[in-house]
Amino acid sequence: MKDKFHTGIDIGSGYTTVIIGRVGSEGELKIVGVGRTVTKGMNRGLVDDVGELKETVRLALEHAEEYTGRGNLTGAYVGVTGQGISSKNVINLALHKGQTEIINSSRIRELVESCYPENDPLTDVLHVIPVGFNLDGYNRTRNPLGLHAKTVEIESHVVSMNSIDLRNALKSVTSNKVSVNGAVFQGLAAAESVITGDEREIGSVLIDIGESTTDIVVFKEGSPWYSTVVPVGGNMITRDISAALGVPFRAGEEIKIKYGHCMPSMVNSNEEIVVPGFQGDDKKTVLKRDIAMPIQSRMVEWLRLVTQAISASGLRAIPSGGLVITGGGSKLNGLTELINDNLEIPVRLAYPTGIKGLPTQLQKPEYSSAVGLLLWAVKHQGEKQSYPQENIWSQIKKIVGKKERAMVG
């Protein structure tokens, strides 16, 4: 029998990661392939060269498929992000029959489907996640299956994405002859691998700091409650360093990773570093603390944008579980201390852990969303006719198909 592989493809603006896994006989997850390559064809989180992005995905797939062999993937879950992501919570009183009935799974499906927004030609729905049900106006439950009720109200968290951005990103996968089983907001994917059950319950905020984006998901009462994207990531620090020191972007990146810090008070005031000269200039010596100061200002500004984005959700305070930061940008030295200093809330630097069989190579913040996509793929396997991915996916395919036909004709 052909092996059943699960695949996550995380198209980040800095790096594209493919992880292929297989579930072993004892339910353990076996990673059978990893490919990670620098992303080309994206600028500030948006696709700006379809051919280059296709080649990026091809390279990452090629590395990951060394074990499985080319062409053996049965489809992938693809992580997407960008400013085109939006979310809202929809409450619907979709069932009111006037008589008591037992709520079965097809009723639940109907209720969830009632939360799909009206067809909007500009956006596609990625997720409709039921977060709670109110039975007869007073009994709130997350799982109404088998319960008696006269009326049921459903609340769902709906995440959508700009159709064109989504289509451009997915083309890089389908043009490599890998079908898309579902598109997943990268913030939700990252949460899948790092947010603990307790953090979901008491409420917390997942913050995935990538190269050009910061993905945010607020958890409340066990479920995602607000999803958004701030179009700023770690490369703004690199750009600052390059500009300030007059060095190329790549050298700025190296300096940031080796010596960057966002808490000048934690850096030895006399420590010097040597930075390369640019275009024939001599090497320069600079104080490490002098680099930390502008990084601190930038990160304080970044934090202001993040807290603004969280308060736009309507939350009056950050949930008591605090912030869970992940993604490559979260590795910036001093970041948890900077957040602590400014917000006085718990902060945790997170990476995928506690997953049986996960190689240590993947236990790093930059892999959170790719590992989460793989977990998502395993969790949603066999959900052929269930919501939300499959239903919505066939709708997206229909829409995309129609548009393509229209373009050809």
Ligand X SMILES: Nc1ncnc2c1ncn2[C@@H]1O[C@H](COP(=O)(O)OP(=O)(O)OP(=O)(O)O)[C@@H](O)[C@H]1O
- Contact positions vs ligand X (CB under 6 A): 12-15, 45, 81, 210-213, 233-235, 238, 253, 256-257, 260, 327-329, 331-332, 366
- For position 182 contacting Mg ion by CB under 5 A, the verdict is no
Decide whether 124 or 253 has the Cβ nearer to ligand X: 253
φ/ψ (deg, to 5) at 271: -70, 125
Span interacting with Mg ion, options 206-214, 247-255, 337-345, 401-409, rule CB under 5 A: 206-214
CA–CA dist 312, 354 (Å, integer): 33
Decide whether 22 or 331 has the Cβ nearer to Mg ion: 331
Residue of 120, 122, 119, 132 whose CA lies nearest to 89: 132
Decide whether 260 or 322 has the Cβ nearer to ligand X: 260
Cβ 186 to Mg ion shortest distance, Å: 5
Among ligand X, Mg ion, none, what binds residue 331 when CB lies within 5 to 8 Å by partner kind? ligand X
CA–CA dist 253, 405 (Å, integer): 44
- For position 210 contacting Mg ion by CB under 5 A, the verdict is yes
CA–CA dist 148, 40 (Å, integer): 54
Side chain identity at residue 160, one-letter code: S
Cβ 211 to Mg ion shortest distance, Å: 7
Cβ 234 to Mg ion shortest distance, Å: 10
| Other residues' Cβ atoms within 10 Å of the Cβ of residue 87 | 25
CA–CA dist 262, 260 (Å, integer): 7
Among Mg ion, ligand X, none, what binds residue 116 when CB lies within 5 to 8 Å by partner kind? none
Counting beta carbons within 10 angstroms of the beta carbon of residue 56, is it exposed (0 to 12), middle (13 to 18) or buried (19 or more)? buried
Decide whether 97 or 258 has the Cβ nearer to ligand X: 258
- For position 203 contacting Mg ion by CB under 5 A, the verdict is no
Residue of 266, 272, 277, 276 whose CA lies nearest to 332: 266
Span interacting with Mg ion, options 208-216, 230-238, 355-363, 388-396, rule CB under 5 A: 208-216
Give Rg (Cα) of the chain: 23
Residue nearest to ligand X (CB): 210
Cβ 342 to ligand X shortest distance, Å: 18
Tell me how many degrees the CA angle 39-44-49 measures, rounded to the nearest 5. Answer: 55
Decide whether 14 or 41 has the Cβ nearer to ligand X: 14
Interacting residue with Mg ion among 7, 9, 11, 12 (CB under 5 A): 12
Positions in the binding site for Mg ion (CB under 5 A): 12, 210
